[in-house]
Structure formats: structure tokens, C-alpha cells
């Protein structure tokens, strides 16, 4: 970015056939010479299968569409005590 800041980017996928979800994770590691800590900006984008079932034309008209009303965000790190989560979005609802 400039002579004091270096940006490292990488991506990863996180999929679960069991839960029918897929995610693309984008990691932006920021090293700032004027700051004593490294910074990570993590972006998650993906798809959650709705469970939609189309109506059976030989049966009465019926379809299903399930969609989560609430999602939880969880972040963990292998570096015990060396990581401080400053902010995240979306916020979990109680």
C-alpha cells in the first residue's frame, strides 16, 4: 500500500455438504510499521441452501422454503492470547 503498510491477501473456501452451505473467505493481513500489532480483515461470502422443495404436479399444490431467521458469527484462533477481536459484523442477536 505504501512504505509503512504492507497488505497480504489470500482466499479459502469453507464448505459443508452436511449443512448445505458454502463460503468464500477473503483474508486481508495488514502489517503496519507504525502500529505494534498485525491486523486481519476477514470477509465471508457464500450461500446457505434454503431447502426449497417444488410442488409435486401429481399431488396437491405444496412447497417448502426454509430460511434461517438468525445467524451466529464465531471466530477462533490457534494463537492463544495473541489474538484480540476488535470488531465484527454481522452482530449476533440474543
Burial 46-66, CB ≥16 within 10 A → b, else e: eeeeeeeeeeeeeeeeeeeee
The model's pTM:
0.59
Query: How far is it between the farthest Cα atoms of the chain?
Result: 69
Strands laid side by side in the 21-32 sheet: 5-16, 21-32, 39-48
Mean pLDDT (the chain) is 78
Q: Are 7 and 35 in contact (CB under 8 A)?
A: no
Q: Place 51 in a pLDDT band, splitting at 50, 70 and 90.
A: confident
Average pLDDT over residues 84-94: 69
In the predicted structure, residue 66 carries a pLDDT above the cut 70:
no
Domain region containing 91: 1-94
Count of domains in the chain? Answer: 1
Half-sphere exposure of 84 (CA within 13 A, CB side): 5
Amino acid at each position: 500500500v505504501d512504505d509503512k503498510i504492507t497488505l497480504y491477501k489470500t482466499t479459502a473456501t469453507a464448505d459443508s455438504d452436511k449443512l448445505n452451505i458454502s463460503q468464500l473467505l477473503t483474508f486481508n493481513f495488514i502489517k503496519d510499521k507504525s502500529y505494534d500489532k498485525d491486523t486481519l480483515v476477514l470477509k465471508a461470502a457464500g450461500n446457505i441452501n434454503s431447502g426449497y422443495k417444488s410442488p409435486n404436479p401429481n399431488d396437491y399444490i405444496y412447497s417448502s422454503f426454509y430460511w434461517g431467521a438468525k445467524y451466529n458469527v464465531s471466530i477462533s484462533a490457534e494463537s492463544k492470547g495473541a489474538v484480540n477481536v476488535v470488531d465484527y459484523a454481522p452482530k449476533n442477536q440474543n
